[in-house]
Amino acid sequence: MAKSPEEEHPHKVFGWAATDSSGSLSPFHFSRRENADDDVTIKVLYCGVCHSDLHSVKNDWGITNYPIVPGHEIVGVVTKTGKNVTKFKEGDRVGVGVIVGSCNTCDSCQQDLENYCPKVIFTYNSHYHDKTKTYGGYSDMIVVDHHYVLRFPDNLPSDSGAPLLCAGITVYSPMKYYGMTEPGKHLGVAGLGGLGHIAVKIGKAFGLKVTVISTSPAKEDEAINRLGADSFLVSTDPAQLKAAMGTMDYIIDTVSAVHALAPLIGLLKLNGKLVTLGLPNKPLELPIFPLVLGRKLVGGSDFGGIKETQEMLDFCAKHNITSEIELIKMDYINTAMERLAKADVRYRFVIDVGNSLTR
């Protein structure tokens, strides 16, 4: 008979889990594996609340295996290291992002692109090499193979740095890969949420001119005065859209709901690149004529490999880029999820796990 989550492994762990597609989270007792030779045990201090956590607890993608403990923007302190671990020692501040394992042998893994490994193991809702379920960072501790642990730079605060582990790498990686880094070029950022606000900051750090594209005029002041965007476009205003047509070299599209691509494609210049990062549960409509007539492209990207995630953290530390966060207690999580569903957050909830996750 299968062991219960509490009995599966030797170390008792406490967290919050969703048990059905209502998505409602509640206290959950489970366990984690013994710290093996390659492992690092981490006491969790903070965990960001990503929109993917919301998609997952509600089973929007149809792949959730309940009970699910979400959380893949984890920052904490090392409490134990296995004997093969040289990069980290007890007391180090570290992060864990979207993945905790991969095959290590395929082309993607060999190229430091573990995120594209067909056997990638996600921090939550996957099965580990030992076939047990993975549970994420809405919990008091986590045991992770050292290869998948990130060093947190000294000047990066743990709480506002946590969202970089998913939101940060998710926008940084495609900006590098698709060549959206030429100073002076014009970047559009569609959607000003967890991903979008960091894309604005990273875009400015690359020396780009940045326009935020949003359906909410109320975000303009923040976009320009607080985040540093150069301009703001209300995408539901046909006159503004028309005036901006053919002006952008790149667009990072962070919108997670189903939305129209045609107006965004129209904003691109010749050879323009639109990278879409959200994961709606239905396909999008792609008009082909404008792609053909303008040699434009629509590409996807999915967070990033471990090496690049470390590079991104170091880049953000160097440029003092952190997330704008609302720090919450663990027991606020269900309210936070409801507010997240309405995009009512500036711009990432981060759970103060260390101080509020009490049994």
Q: Contact residues for another protein (CB under 8 A)?
A: 61, 107-108, 113, 116, 174, 177, 261-262, 270, 276-280, 283-302
Shorter beta-carbon distance to another protein: residue 27 or 287? 287
CA distance 160 to 327: 9
CB of 302 to another protein, least distance (A): 4
CA distance 75 to 253: 27
DSSP string, 82-121: -TT--S--TT-EEEE-SEEE--SSSHHHHTT-GGG-TT-E
Both structure tokens of 344 = 């009512």
CB of 212 to another protein, least distance (A): 22
Both structure tokens of 273 = 């690149």
Shorter beta-carbon distance to another protein: residue 91 or 118? 118
Say how many C-beta atoms besides its own lie within 10 A of residue 173's C-beta: 23
Shorter beta-carbon distance to another protein: residue 35 or 108? 108
CB of 308 to another protein, least distance (A): 12
Shorter beta-carbon distance to another protein: residue 213 or 298? 298
Shorter beta-carbon distance to another protein: residue 222 or 308? 308
Phi, psi of 72 (to 5 degrees): -135, 30
CB of 351 to another protein, least distance (A): 26
CA distance 183 to 36: 45
Helix or strand holding residue 197 (H, E)? helix 194-205
Q: CB of 219 within 8 A of CB of 212?
A: yes
Q: How far apart are the first and last CA of the chain?
A: 28
CA distance 266 to 162: 35
Q: What number of residues does the chain have? A: 359
- By CB neighbour count within 10 A (0-12 exposed, 13-18 middle, 19+ buried), where does 150 fall? buried
Shorter beta-carbon distance to another protein: residue 239 or 292? 292
Among candidate residues 123, 140, 135, the one with its CA nearest the CA of residue 43: 140
Among candidate residues 276, 256, 280, the one with its CA nearest the CA of residue 264: 276
Shorter beta-carbon distance to another protein: residue 241 or 291? 291
CB of 170 to another protein, least distance (A): 10
Shorter beta-carbon distance to another protein: residue 82 or 280? 280
